[in-house]
Amino acid sequence: MKIAAREWNLLAITLGVVVCALTYLALEPYLLEWKGFRDKQEELTSRLERAENMLARRESVTARLAEIRQGLPVFPAGKKVEAELLMTLEKVAGQHGLVLTRRAADAEKEAGDLFETAITCDWEGELAALVHFLYEQQTENAVSDVRHLSVQPASGPHAGLDRLKGSFTIYYAYRRENGATESKTEASPASSAPEAPQPEMDTL
């Protein structure tokens, strides 16, 4: 049987496709492994570049951190700051027409020579009051930072169309003299131990 040149070409192409497919299937695990190596290499290169950039900017970053640290308020050692922070927050909110309907302060957190207290508030007011309040908090640099904020229309018979309500959590950063934390409630003195009974002497 005579095979035409066209059929030989089709046969050669088919064999070539089969060989390529088998080669790919055989090399696929190695290709995936190589791709994983390349991805890890790119990630390590990126980390190295970021580390080099941080080292290059170390002096400026250190100077900036020192400047921010010096700008933080300093409270006496052992003084509880929640009441003062709440009063300041209430005053700023009132200046902009924002009503704080609930306030709750979390426990103080310590990070080296810096301290942080978070205060969560429920608020009610107009959008303009909220914007002005947030803007003033933003201009406090590193002293205060609003990290959580929720907004929704206010409900109730006296709530207007532009009346809003919600909640926010604001974090205050500060330092303490000598790096001491808040004073703890002193434990009540232990009651004195009862006197040991005196041994009785038998009479003759």
Domain residue limits, the chain = 1-56, 75-179
For the ranges 113-117, 121-125, 157-161, the lowest mean pLDDT is seen at: 157-161
| pLDDT the model gives residue 202 | 46
Evaluate whether 117 touches 108 at the Cβ level (below 8 Å).
Answer: yes
At which residue do the structure tokens 């005053």 appear? 91
Higher-pLDDT residue of 17 and 105 is 105
d(CA 122, CA 101): 5
Mean pLDDT of the chain: 78
The torsion angle over the Cα atoms of residues 28, 33, 36 and 40, rounded to 10 degrees, is -160
Burial environment of residue 188 by CB neighbours within 10 A (0 to 12, 13 to 18, 19 or more): exposed
Answer yes or no: is pLDDT of 156 > 60. Answer: yes
Cα(121)–Cα(130) distance, rounded to whole angstroms? 13
What percent of the chain stands above pLDDT 70? 79
Q: Which residue has the higher pLDDT, 46 or 37?
A: 46
Residue 139 sits at φ, ψ, to 5 deg, of -80, 0
Whether the predicted pLDDT of 114 surpasses 90: no
Q: CA angle at residue 169 from 171 to 183, to 5 degrees?
A: 50
Quickly state the pLDDT bin for 42 (edges 50, 70, 90). confident
Determine the pLDDT at residue 128.
Answer: 92
Which pLDDT band, with edges at 50, 70 and 90, does 194 fall under?
A: very low
List Cβ<8 Å contacts ≥24 apart for 14-19: none
Q: Report whether pLDDT(67) > 80.
A: no
Superfamily of structural domain 75-179: Ribosomal protein S6/Translation elongation factor EF1B (3.30.70.60)
pLDDT band, residue 191 (cuts 50/70/90)? very low
The H or E element that residue 124 is part of is strand 114-126
Instruction: Report d(CA 9, CA 15) in Å as an integer.
Output: 10
Is residue 102 pLDDT above 90, yes or no?
yes
pLDDT of residue 142: 60
- Look at residue 197 in the predicted model and tell me its pLDDT: 46
pLDDT of 122 higher than 90 = yes
